Amino acid sequence: MKILVCNVGSTSLKYRLFDLTNGEDTLSEGRMERVGTQAGAWTHKDAGAEAVKQTLPIPDYATGIRLMQVALLERALERMETLDCVAFKVVHAKGVTGVQLLDETVLSAMAAFNTVAPSHNPPYIAAIRQFQHALPNTPMIGSFETGFHADMPPKAFLYSVPINLYKTHAIRRYGFHGASHEYVSTRTAELMGHKDFKLISCHLGGSGSLCAVVNGKSIDTNLGLSLQCGIMHNNRCGDIDPYIPIYLMKDYGYTLEQVETMLNKQSGLLGMSGVSNDLRDVEAAAEAGNEDAKNAVESYCYQIQKQIGSYAAAMGGVDAISFAGGIGENSALVRKKALEGLAFMGVALDLEKNEGAKPDCELTGKSSRARIFAIATNEEIVVARKAKAYLLEHA
Ligand code: ADP
């Protein structure tokens, strides 16, 4: 069974072609970073071959998809039609979650939430339509990022606004990064050797979220109706006082569009540092003495730290903390600063192991009661397994 998984991130396009017939073989995989710029970075690797790295303009997702198709047909696939399905790590749809065949009803439900997921839903819908056009007889299956959080209790998902907004407009906390949090929970359970424990899963990438997981189930997470809240993101603001936009619009004449662009594209690490939306650049600028960049890094880590404390309180303790995502896996500085001073609650990082850590690995300090891990998340395998189960169930 050949399944191509496409992961259209906020700044990246990752893909992996699996053969799940007998085992879980990866035939080909690749990632494009800095999508939307003239300086895109593309790595493509076929099984048994060296990775090919290129720097080239990837101005939009459509270009990225075309490049990917050409690369897959060179070696891994004879024809695109030999795929059993294309599976997508889709983000958000009104009234729809879990694993779904991406038909017109589901695409419309996704479009109905374009306003709350403006950086994610439109590129996803465009990518899915492009595949539907190229492969009209191949099923397109979506695994929604909200699925892992679907059983959160009302006290975690209801907002303190008039209850009618939930009842009539479906305004509630949904949570995202479900595939990553699910992978991290499962992998952490393997490393812990048992399943019943309290975990804080920190998925830190271009978008980031934390999730409180009790015995493998999400009980709370810090993304909401949109991906606009929680900790700051690469260029999105995270939690801010909801009166900031109202004040700017009423007293300073900002338009709705200006406020939306500011919150959605000009804030977060980019907006605070004035340097870049990529933490690597912001860390380098901070190191070189840029005060705004230093504040951005400090704030980013402080926000993660406060969320960890809050989830430890919500769960009545914490047995494990796992870091994943481009930042969680690679930034020793973020892991160190986020966990600094948490010895009072039994959390202490091994500072030596933390430097240059290669996930998957354990970073638990000697005095720590909670175990700490860096995990190379694999959202694609979670999506591929779900797509396979769907195809078998609906065969
Ligand atoms: P997305 O959320 O777009 O899918 P990723 O999970 O791949 O993205 O995370 C991308 C982010 O990871 C980049 O914006 C960059 O800030 C960060 N990152 C990648 N490598 C490093 C590194 N070595 N040090 C610090 N940050 C890194």
Write out pLDDT tens, residues 33-75: 988 899 999 999 999 999 999 999 999 878 898 899 999 999 9
Give the C-alpha separation, 46 to 49, whole Å: 5
pTM, two decimal places: 0.93
Using a pLDDT cut of 70, give the percent of the chain over it: 100
- What's the gap in Å between 192 CA and the centre of ligand 1? 26
Atom of ligand 1 nearest to the CA of 282: 16
Using a 6 Å cutoff on CB, does residue 10 contact ligand 1?
Answer: yes
- What's the gap in Å between 292 CA and the centre of ligand 1? 20
Residue whose CA is closest, atom 27 of ligand 1?
A: 327
Write out pLDDT tens, residues 232-276: 999 999 999 999 999 999 999 999 999 999 999 999 999 999 999
For residue 10, the model assigns a pLDDT of 66
Q: Which residues contact 151 (CB under 8 A, 6 or more apart)?
A: 217, 218
For residue 123, the model assigns a pLDDT of 86
Report which residue type is found at 288: A
Q: Which residues pair with 45 in a beta bridge?
A: 29
Using a 6 Å cutoff on CB, does residue 331 contact ligand 1?
Answer: yes
Q: What value does the mean pLDDT take over residues 326-347?
A: 98
Atom of ligand 1 nearest to the CA of 281: 16
Give the C-alpha separation, 212 to 196, whole Å: 13
Here the tokens at position 226 are: 């949109």
**Does the pLDDT at position 144 exceed 70?**
yes
Report which residue type is found at 370: A
Using a 6 Å cutoff on CB, does residue 208 contact ligand 1?
Answer: no
* Residue whose CB lies within 8 A of the most ligand 1 atoms, among 331, 335, 355, for a mutation test: 331
Q: What's the mean per-residue pLDDT of the chain?
A: 96
**Does the pLDDT at position 28 exceed 90?**
yes
Q: Which domains does the chain have, with CATH numbers?
A: 2-144 (3.30.420.40), 178-374 (3.30.420.40)
Residue whose CA is closest, atom 13 of ligand 1?
A: 278
